[in-house]
């Protein structure tokens, strides 16, 4: 890509990162994203619980997969989004990047907790226990602690600029754990099964369709809630700034 092309790309990105531009664009996107979320999750849940037959080994327990797997994927995706936004915030000092990172953290924590809970419910009948200190499970639990630590750090520092920088450093360091979660089943001998979603023939098509629908629906749900939270944070900051100006008059 030419330097001119790169310059135009960065210019477009920062135009979208302008709070007013962001509010205008996302205001038009929200209804469509909400519809996409409802359709994909609704269709996925219907197929998962009313069409998909019991697995020959796992029985009806296999249906937990349609809740667990998408939640785990979105949990890791959300953390990567926080890390990318944090990097932009540190390098470019753009306040909207800090807002994006901050508002994604509670959502990522919820998806991480959902993945841990549903994984435990699946593990009890399959492994005979709700929890083992398996490499995948342990590293995923650490991911939840990273989310909680990130949120706590934001709340512990009053100055928003200092809080954003401290939280951004934690987010970037924590990316190491996301890599460990991803490759733990390959690096160590773990009780958790290996990656099978993208392997041809590993999952029967009747299981694939609802799983992919739920993955898409969870992803759309995350982005929908993320956009709403960013918009809310922008409005709250505008209100606080207005109150400060009124107090100074």
d(CA 153, CA 56): 47
Please provide the average confidence, as pLDDT, over all residues in the chain.
85
Cα–Cα nearest to 150, from 79, 247, 85: 79
Judged by average pLDDT, the poorest of 16-20, 41-45, 136-140, 207-211 is 16-20
Highest mean pLDDT (candidates 88-92, 126-130, 175-179): 175-179
Q: Over range 15-20, report the average pLDDT.
A: 65
Q: Over range 124-145, report the average pLDDT.
A: 87
User: For 17-134, where are the alpha helices, taking DSSP H only?
Assistant: 19-46, 65-92, 95-127
Helix (H, G, I), strand (E, B) or coil at 55: strand
pTM reported for the whole predicted model: 0.86
**Residues 134 and 191: beta-carbon distance below 8 Å:** yes
d(CA 167, CA 28): 31
Looking at residue 124, its pLDDT comes to 84
Cα–Cα nearest to 104, from 67, 79, 124: 79
d(CA 88, CA 79): 14
d(CA 130, CA 110): 19
Looking at residue 172, its pLDDT comes to 96
């Amino acid at each position: 890509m030419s330097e001119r092309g790169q310059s135009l790309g960065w210019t477009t990105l920062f135009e979208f990162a302008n709070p007013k531009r962001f509010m205008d664009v996302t205001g038009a996107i929200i209804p469509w994203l909400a519809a996409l979320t409802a359709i994909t999750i609704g269709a996925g849940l219907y197929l998962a619980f009313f069409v998909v037959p019991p697995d020959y080994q796992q029985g009806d327990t296999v249906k937990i997969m349609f809740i667990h797997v998408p939640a785990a994927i979105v949990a890791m995706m959300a953390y990567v989004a926080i890390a990318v936004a944090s990097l932009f915030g540190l390098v470019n000092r753009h306040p909207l990047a800090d807002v994006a990172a901050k508002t994604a953290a509670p959502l990522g924590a919820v998806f991480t907790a959902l993945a841990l809970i549903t994984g435990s419910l699946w593990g009890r009948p399959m492994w005979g226990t709700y929890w083992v200190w398996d490499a995948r499970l342990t590293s995923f639990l650490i991911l939840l602690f990273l989310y909680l630590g990130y949120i706590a750090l934001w709340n512990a520092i009053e100055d928003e600029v200092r809080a954003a920088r401290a939280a951004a450093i934690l987010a970037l360091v924590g990316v190491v754990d996301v890599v460990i979660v991803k490759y733990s089943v390959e690096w160590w001998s773990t009780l958790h099964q290996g990656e099978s979603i993208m392997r041809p023939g590993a999952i029967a098509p009747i299981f694939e369709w609802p799983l992919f629908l739920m993955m898409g629906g969870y992803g759309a749900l995350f982005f929908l809630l993320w956009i709403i939270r960013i918009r809310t944070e922008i409005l709250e900051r505008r209100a606080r700034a207005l109150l400060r100006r009124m107090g100074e008059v």
